[in-house]
Chain A
Amino acid sequence: MTDLVILNEDALRWTHPVFAQAGAGANCIFIWDMTYFEAMQCGLKRQVFLYETLCEMDVEIYGGVFADVFPQLLAQYAPSTVFVPYSVNPKLKDRHALMAQNCDTHIVKDEVFIVADELPDLRRFFRYWNRARKLAFSYNGIGS
């Protein structure tokens, strides 16, 4: 049994930490779900951009509604663990919850812009920026 990486539209690159966690040999899948695209109001131009990106990657693309296709992929690949990139998108978070109900699922966060001890004040940009500015000008967003 090998691991499975289920990619999403927010994490389309090989240097995403999800691949390091999954390890070499993991199968990588993207589910081309038109229901999701419609819900996200994702038009044809963006779909073409996404598909073109996926064609450049070593990833298998399967068409269908995520909730229908995922169980079939579990049966087909029989992975020991499924790794998924974290997303802020609630629709993708719902998917992650669905996956976790059916298999051992690890959600892997991406690298961040700033490494802050606490959540910045998000009421206005300038409030955020006053806290973030110093970190934003540091490599990897880590303050000195």
Chain B
Amino acid sequence: MTLTPLIKKFTNTQELIEYVASLAHTPKHALTAERLLTGGRKAAQARLTGLDAVAYGRTRNHLDGQVTRLSPYIRHGIVTLNEVRNLALDSGAPRKQIEKFIQELGWRDFWQQIYDTDPDCLWVDIEAYKTGFQPQDYADTLPDDIAHGQTGIACLDQFIETLLGTGYLHNHARMYLAAYVVHWRRVKWQAGASWFLHHLTDADPASNNLSWQWVASTFSNKPYFFNLENVAKFSGPDIITEPKLNLPLASSYEALVEKLFPYMDAT
């Protein structure tokens, strides 16, 4: 019996979305073409044309900074790290000004090399938590309010809404969410990593899981956490950072250490 290929011609992207949803047996979904990153080499090429590695280095930590959004294209081999790096070198910018950008490509290579040499480490704690807690102190599953963006913490709910609606989230916002899940709610990083994998268009098991481990402190020397002041510093005007709407985050770092990691010195 001859196999019949699947359809490849669509009149518009929304039709393609409906077709892919039917293949996945998920007829009910809220995806709209306007909110998603466009697949394909042409879209990647457009992003490469607009690449500004110097501006990236200057503004990358800001949620409205000039990040490239090349990650889904790199993730799926539509463009390569080598190609992107060579393009950055072509700009002729001084090495110091493009260092952060090249280093970010290095992070991706680093994660991939770990995946290649030790794939089993991706879902287990590479090292012990340095938070003062043991693995059994963390919940196994992601609470529903986080999964649906109803934590009651305004800025985090905005980030979650973006994640669920677009499949993309700025790296800094990913770190905020990861830290909140693991350190505020004391949920195992694996539950959060799984959640991100499902929703991110650029989801790569190595980059994703090892970054979660970095935040959790099972693949770093200390836990990553943040406070509202930090969110306000790096957010644009669209993100709600009023303290009364973000109470659990509205503290000094010293106060948060005492609250989140009361036993940290004991380990």
Contact = CB atoms under 8 A, between A and B. Distances in A.
A interacts with B: yes
Given A46-B203, A90-B119, A136 B113 contact: no
A24 interface: no
Given A53-B78, A122-B110, A48 B102 contact: no
Interface of B is mostly: helix
Given A9-B76, A44-B31, A72-B1, A113 B105 contact: yes
A114 B24 contact: no
B199 A88 contact: no
Interface stretch (B15-23, B61-69, B246-254): B15-23
Contacts, number: 175
B26 A112 contact: no
B39 A50 contact: yes
B6 A61 contact: yes
Contacts of A104: none
B72 A49 contact: yes
Contacts of A56: 39-42
A12 B40 CA distance: 8
Nearest to A45: B167
Please indicate which of the listed interface residues B25, B39, B201 has the most CB atoms of chain A within 10 Å of its own CB. Answer: B39
Contacts of A132: 106, 109-110
Interface of A: 9-14, 16, 32, 34, 37, 40-57, 60-64, 69, 72-73, 76, 85, 88-90, 110-114, 119-120, 122, 125, 128-129, 132-133, 136-137, 139-141
